[in-house]
Amino acid sequence: MVNNKVALITGASRGIGRGIALQLADMRYTIIINYNNDRASAEQVLKTVLGKKGNGICFNADISKNENIEKMFKFISQEYGRLDVLINNAGYAPIIETEKIDEKSWDHILSINLKSAFFCSNHAMFIMKKAGQGKIINIGSQAGITGGFHSAAHYAIAKGGINTLTKRLAMEGAPYNILVNCVSPGIIETDGVNAYPEEVVKDLVGKIPIGRIGTVSDVANVVSFLLTEKSNYLTGINIPVNGGIYMN
């Protein structure tokens, strides 16, 4: 299968981002693996991508800062001259009581989880509008729908913003054949969830009708579907991938 399409995945060095990168490698995308701190993990993802006969690079950028986003997209434009897919995956979900959230923590969490997606999408839309096509997939969270169970308040608020951002971008992108959707995972087996206290994990699993924690592949499979032609009449939707813990 020949595919000359280019995809940017933010926060792709581990967890859900890594899983999506491996799915896109199977689809023969050229993948830009964005990471912030963990270069070794990002390079391991790239090694696996190349082993699957995919193509790609690692790109270091702290996308909580717009100046770094601008540099990343300047590189993409100069190096590839196109961007077909943006996956806004970068995120961080701390556990902290609402009354203990200070201004610094608020700004940090909103920057990582919401501001980065907004500005990455702005830059991506600029490229995609010229091409007359593109797909943006935002990785949300059940916390953005339900308010969260054990998730921090500012994280849940940021992910709620992702839901609204998805709808707004879908409206703006539709005339240019740019489709924008959101995938909202529930409790997924990642480093973040594995770091939760055992009693928290037990409580969360008890709320899932299917009776198990989700896998990264559960999420990546839905993302890969949204990148196929079979999803080309879908835009502005939010797909919960949560084992039934929240039902529309």
Contact criterion met (CB below 8 Å) for 116 and 64: yes
Q: What angle do CA 129, 133, 134 make, to 5 degrees?
A: 95
Euclidean distance between CA atoms 3 and 190, whole angstroms: 29
Catalytic annotation on 155?
yes
Among 156, 158, 78, CA closest to 116: 158
- Residues facing residue 33 across a β-bridge: 9, 58
Angle formed by the axes of helices 103-110 and 153-173, nearest 10°: 30
> In sequence order, what are the residues at sequence separation of 6 or more whose Cβ sits closer than 8 angstroms to the Cβ of residue 30?
4, 5, 6, 7, 54, 55, 56, 80
SS3 7: strand
**Positions of E strands within the chain:** 6-9, 30-35, 55-60, 85-88, 134-139, 178-185, 238-241
Active-site annotation holder among 29, 80, 92, 155: 155
Positions annotated as catalytic residues are 155
